[in-house]
C-alpha cells in the first residue's frame, strides 16, 4: 500500500507518533488510508446534507477494511452568487478545489479516495483532482433536490428567476413572487432541473467514476445513504484490483459522456468542464467533436429548464443507466469502458431498461433527432460558441437582428429591467469571459428576465461569459476568443446585424470584410484593475474554448 511508506519502519517512527496523536490504534495503522473529500458546508443547499453522505461513506469504507479519513473542500452556491460580484468567484473555485485536494491527498499518502461533491464546480474540480492523483477513486454526490410545487405544478430554481423577470415586467404580484420563493426549492440537494450540478453528476456515472444513481437519486431519499455506503465498499475493491481513474477516464469514456450529454440535454457548462477533466487525463478534446456527436445522437430527455420533468422523474424512469441502455440500441456508446464497479459499461447497463417513456423517450421517437448542445462558429466566434439548442424555441433556431451592446452583465440587466430591449434584438454582453470577467460569470439573471418578460421567443443573447444550466432560450455563451483576448465580439457596435443559425452551427457579424478588418486592426481590449486571486486567475486562465484551464 502507498501509505505503508509513511507508517512502518524505524525511519517512520515520527509519523507513527503523529498517527497515535490522532488516536489511531495499531490495527487501524495496518489498514489502507482512504481519504474522503467532504464538500459539506452550511451555505450551499446542495451541500448541507453531505455530512450524512460522508458518514455513510465512512461506514462503507470501514466495513470493507479501510481506514476512512475525512478532509474538506470548499463550495460556492451558484444560485446565491448569481447576479453580483460573487459570481466571479464560482468557476475559479474549480481549480482551488482540484489543487487543494491534490495537495491533501499526496501530502498524506492516501491509498484511495472517495469524493463527495454536489454542486457546479465541485464535481469537475474533484474529477480533475482524481485524474491528477490517480489512486483508486469513487465519486458519490449529495444528490438532487426534489422539485417544488406552485399552483399544482412542479417548479425549480429556473422558474424562480423567471418569476423575478415577470414581476419586474408587471406580470406578477409581489405576493405571488414571494409564494414562488417559498415553494420552488423545498429540500436540500442540487437544484432539481438538468442544471450544471446535476448534469455533471449524471456524466460522472457515464464516465464510469460514480455508481448507478449517483446523478439522480434525490438527496432526501434513504437510497442516497445506501449508495454512499456502497461507494465506500467499491473503492476498497478498486484498491484490491488496482483500478485507477485514468484506467476509467479514457478518450472513449469522454466520447460516451458527450454522447449522453447530448441525449440528456445537459447544461452548456459541460462544454467547459468535460474538456478540463480530459486535459488532466492527458486527453485534449476539440469541441468540434460535439457537433459530430450531436448529429448522430437523438435528444431523448427534456428535463427542466427545457421541459417539465425533473431529476426525481429521471430517477423514477430508470436513471442515467436507462438512458445509456436506450442509446446502446443504436450503437452510440463504447460498451467496453471500465468503471468503478469493476465491470464494463455494457455489463453495468445490460439490465437497466427505461421504465417511463414519457421522461426518457425511445431512441426511435426522440424529442429531436440531434443532441441538446450545439457549438457555433463564424466570424463573431472563430473558436466557437455554445448553445443549449434543446432549450431554444423553434422560431429562434435561426435569428437575425440588431446588436444591443453592453460591457458587463450589470449594464445589460439595467437595460432589460428598464424595458429597453425589444423583440428581434440580439443582446451582446462582453468582457465577462475567463480573463475579462474575470471568472466567466453565468448570466441567469438577464436570460431569466428576458423569459419572464415574454421575450424568449424573439430576443437572443450572446456573451463571452457563460449561462447557467437553468438558462433557456437562444443564449450563446463561451464566445471565443473573448473580448479581453482581442476576440471579434469586442468590435461589435450598437445596431450591427448579427445572424445566428443554430442548425447550421454559425454565428456571424454581418458587416463587410473591409470594415471587419479595419475594426479588428484598431481594436484595443479593455483591461480591469485586479487584485488577489482573481488577478492570478486572469493571468493564468486559458480560453473558454479549451475548458478555461490554468496554464
List of E strands, 10-111: 33-38, 67-72
- Please report where in the chains the cell 438527496 appears, as a residue: 219
- Are 102 and 85 in contact by the 8 Å Cβ rule? The answer is no
- Partnered with residue 404 across adjacent β-strands are 427
Backbone region of residue 486 per phi and psi (left: phi > 0; alpha: psi in -120 to 50; beta: other values): left
Respond yes or no: is residue 468 known to be catalytic. Answer: yes
Contact 534, 434 (CB under 8 A): no
The answer to whether the CB of 193 falls within 8 A of the CB of 302 is no
Q: Cis peptide before 150, with omega less than 30 degrees from 0?
A: no
Measuring CA to CA, which residue among 290, 206, 305, 291 is closest to residue 249?
206
Q: Which residues of 292-307 are buried (b: 16+ CB within 10 A; e: fewer)?
A: ebbeebbbbbbbbbbb
- Residue 142 makes CB contacts below 8 A (sequence gap 6+) with 39, 46, 47, 49, 50, 53, 116, 117, 118, 188, 189, 190, 219, 224
Q: Which residue blocks in 389-542 are alpha helix, DSSP H?
A: 409-417, 444-452, 513-522, 532-540
Determine contact, residues 439/91, Cβ cutoff 8 Å.
Answer: yes
> How crowded is the C-beta side of 514, counted as CA atoms within 13 Å?
0
Distance of alpha carbon 436 from alpha carbon 167, whole angstroms: 31
C-alpha to C-alpha distance for 447 and 369, rounded to whole angstroms: 26
Sheet architecture: strand order including 33-38: 67-72, 33-38, 112-116, 137-139
Q: How far apart are CA 360 and CA 362, in angstroms?
A: 7
140: nearest Cα among 48, 222, 221, 235: 235
Any residues with CB less than 8 A from the CB of 281 and at least 6 apart, and which?
131, 245, 246, 249, 250, 254
Q: Specify whether the CB–CB gap between 338 and 248 falls below 8 A.
A: yes
Annotated catalytic residue: which of 156, 468, 480, 543? 468
Q: What is the DSSP string of 373-386?
A: -EEEEETTEEEEEE
As annotated, the active-site residues are 468
Amino acid at each position: 500500500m502507498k501509505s505503508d511508506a509513511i507508517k512502518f519502519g524505524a525511519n517512520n517512527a515520527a509519523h507513527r507518533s503523529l498517527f497515535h496523536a490522532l488516536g489511531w490504534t495499531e490495527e487501524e495503522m495496518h489498514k489502507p488510508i482512504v481519504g474522503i473529500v467532504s464538500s459539506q458546508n452550511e451555505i450551499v443547499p446542495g451541500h448541507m446534507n453531505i455530512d450524512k453522505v460522508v458518514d455513510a461513506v465512512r461506514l462503507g469504507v470501514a466495513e470493507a477494511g479501510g481506514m476512512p479519513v475525512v478532509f474538506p473542500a470548499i463550495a460556492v452556491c451558484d444560485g446565491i452568487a448569481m447576479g453580483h460580484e460573487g459570481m466571479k468567484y464560482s468557476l475559479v473555485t474549480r481549480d482551488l478545489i482540484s489543487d487543494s485536494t491534490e495537495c491533501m491527498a499526496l501530502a498524506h499518502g492516501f491509498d484511495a479516495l472517495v469524493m463527495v461533491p454536489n454542486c457546479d464546480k465541485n464535481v469537475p474540480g474533484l474529477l480533475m483532482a482524481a485524474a491528477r492523483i490517480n489512486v483508486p477513486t469513487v465519486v458519490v454526490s449529495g444528490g438532487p433536490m426534489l422539485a417544488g410545487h406552485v399552483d399544482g405544478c412542479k417548479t425549480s430554481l429556473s422558474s424562480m428567476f423567471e418569476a423575478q423577470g415577470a414581476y419586474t415586467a408587471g406580470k406578477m404580484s409581489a405576493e405571488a413572487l414571494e409564494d414562488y420563493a417559498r415553494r420552488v426549492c423545498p429540500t436540500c440537494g442540487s437544484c432539481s432541473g438538468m442544471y450544471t450540478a446535476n448534469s455533471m453528476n449524471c456524466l460522472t456515472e457515464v464516465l464510469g467514476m460514480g455508481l448507478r444513481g449517483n446523478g439522480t437519486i434525490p438527496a432526501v431519499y434513504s437510497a442516497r445513504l445506501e449508495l454512499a455506503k456502497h461507494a465506500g465498499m467499491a473503492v476498497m475493491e478498486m484498491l484490491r484490483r488496482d483500478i485507477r481513474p485514468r484506467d476509467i477516464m479514457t478518450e472513449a469514456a469522454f466520447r460516451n459522456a458527450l454522447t449522453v450529454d447530448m441525449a440528456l440535454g445537459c447544461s452548456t457548462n459541460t462544454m467547459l468542464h468535460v474538456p478540463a477533466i480530459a486535459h488532466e487525463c492527458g486527453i485534449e478534446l476539440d469541441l468540434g467533436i460535439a457537433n459530430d456527436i450531436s448529429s448522430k445522437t437523438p435528444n431523448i430527455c427534456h428535463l427542466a429548464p427545457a421541459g417539465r420533468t425533473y431529476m426525481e422523474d429521471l430517477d423514477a424512469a430508470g436513471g442515467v443507466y436507462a438512458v445509456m441502455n436506450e442509446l446502446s440500441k443504436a450503437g452510440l456508446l463504447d460498451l467496453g469502458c471500465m468503471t468503478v464497479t469493476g465491470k464494463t459499461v455494457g455489463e453495468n447497463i445490460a439490465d437497466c431498461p427505461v421504465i417511463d417513456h414519457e421522461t426518457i423517450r425511445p431512441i426511435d421517437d426522440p424529442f429531436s433527432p440531434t443532441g441538446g448542445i450545439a457549438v457555433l462558429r463564424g466570424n463573431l466566434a472563430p473558436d466557437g460558441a455554445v448553445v443549449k439548442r434543446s432549450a431554444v424555441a423553434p422560431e429562434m433556431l435561426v435569428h437575425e437582428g440588431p446588436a444591443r451592446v453592453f460591457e458587463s452583465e450589470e449594464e445589460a440587466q439595467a437595460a432589460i429591467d428598464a424595458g429597453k430591449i425589444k423583440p428581434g434584438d440580439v443582446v451582446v454582453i462582453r468582457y465577462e469571459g475567463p480573463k475579462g470577467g474575470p471568472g466567466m460569470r453565468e448570466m441567469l439573471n438577464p436570460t431569466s428576465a428576458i423569459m419572464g418578460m415574454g421575450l424568449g421567443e424573439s430576443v437572443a443573447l450572446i456573451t463571452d461569459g457563460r449561462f447557467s444550466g437553468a438558462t433557456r432560450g437562444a443564449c450563446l455563451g463561451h464566445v471565443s476568443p473573448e473580448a479581453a483576448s482581442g476576440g471579434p465580439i469586442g468590435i461589435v457596435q450598437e445596431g450591427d446585424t448579427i445572424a445566428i443559425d443554430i442548425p447550421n452551427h454559425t454565428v456571424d457579424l454581418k458587416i463587410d470584410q473591409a470594415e471587419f478588418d479595419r475594426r479588428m486592426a484598431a481594436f484595443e481590449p479593455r483591461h480591469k484593475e485586479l487584485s488577489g486571486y482573481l488577478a492570478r486567475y486572469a493571468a493564468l486562465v486559458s480560453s473558454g474554448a479549451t475548458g478555461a484551464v490554468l496554464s
